[in-house]
Amino acid sequence: MPHRPTVSIMELSVSDSEAGPYGITAGPDGAVWFTMVHHGRIGRVTPDGDNTSYQLEPASSGPSIITAGPDDALWFTEFRSHRIGRITTAGDIASFPLPTSDAGPFGIAAGPDDALWFTEASADRIGRITTDGHVTEFPLPISGAFPSAIAPGPDDRLWFTMNQANAIGAIASDGVVTVHSLPTPASAPVGITAGADGALWFVEIGSGQIGRIAPDGKIDEFALPDPGSRPHAIAAGTDGNCWFTEWGANRIGRITPDGRIDEHDLPSPSSEPHGIAQGPDGAMWTALEIGTIARLTTH
According to the annotation, is 57 in a ligand binding site?
no
Cβ burial, residue 124 (10 Å; 0-12/13-18/19+): buried
Which residues, 6 or more positions from 242, have their beta carbon under 8 angstroms from its beta carbon? 193, 195, 201, 210, 234, 235, 236, 254, 255
Residues 225 and 238: beta-carbon distance below 8 Å: no
Q: Check if 134 is active-site.
A: no
Question: Which among 3, 180, 274, 299 is annotated as catalytic?
Answer: 274
Kindly report the length of the chain: 299
Please give the sequence-ordered ranges of beta strands (E in DSSP) within 98-230, or none if there are none: 105-110, 116-120, 125-129, 135-139, 147-152, 158-162, 167-171, 177-181, 189-194, 200-204, 209-213, 219-223
According to the annotation, is 272 in a ligand binding site?
yes
User: Reading across the β-sheet that carries 7-13, which strands appear in turn?
Assistant: 7-13, 292-298, 284-288, 273-278
Binding residues for substrate: 232
Binding residues for Mg(2+): 272, 289
Active site residues: 274
Binding residues: 232, 272, 289
